[in-house]
Amino acid sequence: MKRILSISAISLSMASTCFAGEPIKIVAAENFYGDIAKQIGGDRVAVTSILSNPDQDPHLFEASPSVARDISGAAIVIANGLDYDPWINTLLDASPSQARKLISVGELAGKRPGDNPHLWYDPQNVLRMAQTLTKDLAAADPAGKADYEKRLETFKASLSPIETQIATLKARFGGTPVAATEPVFGYMFDAMGMEVLEGSFQTSVMNDTEPSASDTVAFENDLKTHKIKLLVYNSQATDPVADRMKALAGAAGIPIVGATETQPPGISYQDWMLAELADVSKAFSLSTQ
């Protein structure tokens, strides 16, 4: 994945103001939410992100005592919800606090357990999170209200290139038949207006259940006959059946794009999304040559 430097993201880091008080402690279950929390809070917050290893399968994560300590001392906890990070609720229950705020992105997005939990692939969901966080920070630190609100506006503006790229891809490739080994990229596919195939197969893999024989055969046939024009696979989780579909796509010459569940190190959320969209754009261009 190529690194794309976002001017808006750079301006967010340069807009830091000197803050002499005790920083507000924020724990984010996933590192992309932690990155956004830092962009909104600046040096007025201290952010700890739990899931941050790009080589780790988030579905296999087990919380350690240090994670429990971080959450017990947090003023604000940000979780994805939708059973993606169920260990958060267990740790919150173990150290109850009336003062602590919990931001559930799933609730903000109006989703329910069973819906696709990969909410961060819809920029509007992370914007809702950022807006809620801004309000919670302003309530906890009224002196920083103007700073938080200014940073929110800068963050909102920094999402514009992502929305522009999505609109461009939708205009060029909307309706194109695509598939994935699991629905990590689902919300982004929806935003781009793609025709997403093999939905039942994807759900089975996500839920760690064996896809049905009919779903597997249908997927294989769609790859072999080139009905699918692009395959996205979860490069952070392994599954024998999903790996087979990736191998079949490669053998058929179908473009393949990897998508991760955690934000790669060294880049912002905005740059991560732009890089993955750039990979999709390149793949589609190859498939139409």
Domain with CATH 3.40.50.1980 in the chain: 7-158, 162-287
Put simply, whether the predicted model's pTM sits higher than 0.85 gets the answer yes
Report the alpha-carbon distance of residue 39 to residue 26 in Å, rounded.
Answer: 12
For the sheet with 101-104, list strands across it.
45-51, 24-30, 76-79, 101-104
> With contact defined as beta carbons under 8 Å apart, do 29 and 51 qualify?
yes
- Per the DSSP assignment, residues forming a β-bridge with 115 are 113
Would you state the torsion angle of the CA atoms of residues 58, 59, 65, 67, taken in this order, to the nearest 10 degrees? 40
Name the residue among 235, 226, 284, 212 with its Cα closest to residue 255.
Answer: 284
**Token duo for residue 121:** 């692939």
For the domain spanning 7-158, the CATH number is 3.40.50.1980
Structure tokens at 168: 């461009």
Q: What is the pLDDT along the chain (289 residues), one digit of tens a residue?
A: 333 344 344 444 433 344 557 999 999 999 999 999 999 999 999 999 998 876 666 766 778 888 999 999 999 999 999 999 999 999 999 999 999 999 999 999 999 999 999 999 999 999 999 999 999 999 999 999 999 999 999 999 999 999 999 999 999 999 999 999 999 999 999 999 999 999 999 999 988 899 999 999 999 999 999 999 999 998 887 789 999 999 999 999 999 999 999 999 999 999 999 999 999 999 988 655 5
Does domain 162-287 fall into CATH 3.40.50.1980? yes
Query: How many whole angstroms separate alpha carbon 158 and alpha carbon 249?
Result: 34
d(CA 255, CA 235): 15
Report the C-alpha gap between 42 and 38 in whole angstroms. Answer: 5
Q: How far is CA 7 from CA 159, 194, 263, 269, in A?
A: 11, 29, 18, 13
